[in-house]
Amino acid sequence: MVAGRSKLWEVTKELVATALGRIKADLVIKNGTLVNVYTGELIENINVAVKGDRIAHIGSKIDHVIGDNTKVIDAKGNYLVPGFLDGHVHIESSMLLPSEFAKAVLPHGTTAVFADPHEIANVLGLKGIKLMLEDSKDLPLKVYIAIPSCVPASFPEFETAGASIGPKEVEEVLQWENVVALAEMMNYPGVLMGDDKVHGEIQVTLKHGKVVEGHYADPELDKKLSAYIAAGITSCHESTRRIDALERARRGIWAMIREGSAWHDLEEVIKAVTERRIDTRRIILVTDDRHPEDILVEGHIDHVVRRAIQEGVDPITAIQMVTVNTAEHYKVDLDVGGIAPAKFADILIVEDLAKVKISTVIANGKVVAKDGKLVVDIKRKEVPEWATKTMNVKRKLTPEDFVIKAPIKEGTVKAHVVQVIEAKVTTKHLIEEIPVVNYELKPRVEDDIAKAAVIERHHGSGDIGIGLVKGFGFKEGAIASTVAHDSHNLLVAGVNEGDMAFAANKLIDVGGGMVVVRNQEILGLVELPVAGLMSTEDAETVSEKVRKLAEGWRQIGRKMVSPFMTMALLSLSVLPELRITDQGIIDTLKFQKIPLILQ
């Protein structure tokens, strides 16, 4: 149950009396065509009666519940659609606090999200999760929380996080209101190897009857996938091929198909539905990560529904993938996921089903948005000071910190290189010849090979991991970000050591964020003072800063889809094939640290 809203057991008598007309409804929606997600039907001339924040009655007869104080909306010629649910999202990736995120997504028909706050948890631990819950209280948007399972994301020797969460902490958070699941278990090697911490978190979650979300990034889809699911995991959003979704669904878990700002998996993965014609009860559409500009321009989960329809999915089926399927997965289908008696009155009035053109958004029985504009006031809450002081770097950086020493004075050496893939979460592990000048490795700018470094920022250890990256097209300058999954240390990349140091020091000064630098001049800057991850400003302001950041990127690198999101995964030590963390180079297929230069 979501805090600040009615508990069903508190209002059963009132809902029954309203359905029978003994007391009158607060809101009635008349003459709409109901998209019934339970039966897959379109039912014309349906009326909906709402008492408080829940639905009391749907049917052809409605006059008996209309009183003098009943608000009536005539939906003739429109469709009545359940409020959309985003089944897997990291609110922090929008760079907005939950209250500002709600303002951005409600006009797009999102009435509930299932959020994994593992970004802020890796920086601030349980205090960070509480901050997100507090900021989510009493919003028109329902924010259900999944407990971060991987803090840190993998083994401590591979990266340094700001906090640690284990089975004891998971059991504590499971008692908190609005917590519905254990979030994506990224440490799938730990699951397969029988790691006590990993299995302890899963076991305590299952003991409490809650859901365990998955994150299986291995291409092997036979015994290892079965073993992973055998741990009690019931969903996974890491499908990048149609066969990935098929094999997950065949094994009885929910295959989440992702279409975010950077990860455009839907076009390929949805073919499991459009070409194989499988039963879609185990398919869910999600965003995972969405930037503010993309939300404002393209939309949120409504954009993903449109994309599925464009790829050939029936509109009703696509809507089921963001409503009833999601609700059933998280075991909250008594409250959300459909337009039916007892459910929260989260209803979209839609003019065009195929285009997902939403005219009115109703959340908790109240109109909250019309014609793409928010019509309710959502107050911004104060952020505690401790959440804005997270740049604990041992010292300011110098150009020398980004010099890579070589064992020879001149010539070339073979080195491991991370190749990023645009709009994909995976990387390629390359071995390249790298020039050496006066005992220093030099970037091969003409071949798109730059430097990348990760500086520990949580404990002031002074640890710096440095490596090489290919795929960003840097011609000059540097970039830096404190959004660096999942430990969110200070990540810097570029071809000029002076600019790399300048960029890193700028983010230390402003408390975190993202910056583009050329010749020690700032071309774009987004300040993210809340844990180095989120702004205290609204979506429009942040979006404008992100736009300028993107312009700065294009001046020093190649045009990419959401380049900063792609960059942010350079340090995620649980995804194939090669990553860079504050502890060095991590081979994530062999799951071991390796030296940068081949011996």
pLDDT digits (tens, 9 = 90+) for 63-93: 999 999 999 999 999 999 999 999 999 999 9
Q: Does the pLDDT at position 335 exceed 50?
A: yes
DSSP 472-502: S---S-EEEES--TTTT-EEEEES-HHHHHH
Q: Does the pLDDT at position 282 exceed 80?
A: yes
Q: Does the pLDDT at position 254 exceed 90?
A: yes
CA–centroid distance for 546 within its chain: 17
Task: Tell me the average pLDDT across 3-21.
Answer: 92
Q: Residue 3's pLDDT is what? A: 53
427 vs 505: CA distance, rounded Å: 28
- For residue 156, name the pLDDT band (cuts at 50, 70, 90): confident
Q: Residue 565's pLDDT is what? A: 83
The dihedrals phi and psi of 100, each to the nearest 5 degrees, come to -75, -35
- For residue 423, name the pLDDT band (cuts at 50, 70, 90): confident
Q: Residue 299's pLDDT is what? A: 97
Tokens standing for 204? 């305590």
Predicted structure pTM score: 0.91
Task: Tell me the average pLDDT across 471-491.
Answer: 95
Q: Does the pLDDT at position 317 exceed 60?
A: yes
Task: Tell me the average pLDDT across 329-333.
Answer: 98
Q: Which amino acid is at 461?
A: S
Q: Class for domain 81-143+233-372, per CATH?
A: alpha beta
What percent of the chain stands above pLDDT 70? 99
Q: Residue 173's pLDDT is what? A: 97
Q: Residue 1's pLDDT is what? A: 47
Distances (CA, A) of 32 to 61, 80, 246, 349, 490: 13, 6, 36, 8, 52
Q: Residue 585's pLDDT is what? A: 97
Q: Does the pLDDT at position 410 exceed 90?
A: yes
131 vs 255: CA distance, rounded Å: 30
Q: Residue 313's pLDDT is what? A: 98
Q: Does the pLDDT at position 566 exceed 90?
A: no
Q: Residue 352's pLDDT is what? A: 97
Cβ–Cβ < 8 Å for 590, 507: no
Q: Residue 455's pLDDT is what? A: 98
Q: Does the pLDDT at position 2 exceed 80?
A: no
Q: Residue 4's pLDDT is what? A: 62
DSSP 97-161: -HHHHHHHHGGGTEEEEEE--HHHHHHHTHHHHHHHHHHHTT-SSEEEEEE-S-SSSS-GGG---
Nearest-Å Rg of the Cα atoms of the chain is: 25
Q: What is the mean pLDDT of the chain?
A: 95
pLDDT digits (tens, 9 = 90+) for 193-230: 999 999 999 999 999 999 999 999 889 999 999 999 99
Q: Does the pLDDT at position 436 exceed 90?
A: yes
Q: Residue 506's pLDDT is what? A: 98
- What pairs with residue 146 in β-bridges? 181
What is the 3-state secondary structure of 415-461? EEEEEECCCCCCEEEEEEEEEEECCEECCEHHHCEEEEEEECCCCCC
Distances (CA, A) of 164 to 160, 204, 288: 10, 17, 22
Q: Residue 426's pLDDT is what? A: 85
Task: Tell me the average pLDDT across 102-110.
Answer: 98
**What residue spans define the domains of the chain?**
81-143+233-372, 387-594
Task: Tell me the average pLDDT across 159-182.
Answer: 95
- Classify strands 427-437 and 440-441 as parallel, antiparallel or unpaired: antiparallel
What percent of the chain stands above pLDDT 90? 90
Cβ–Cβ < 8 Å for 478, 503: yes
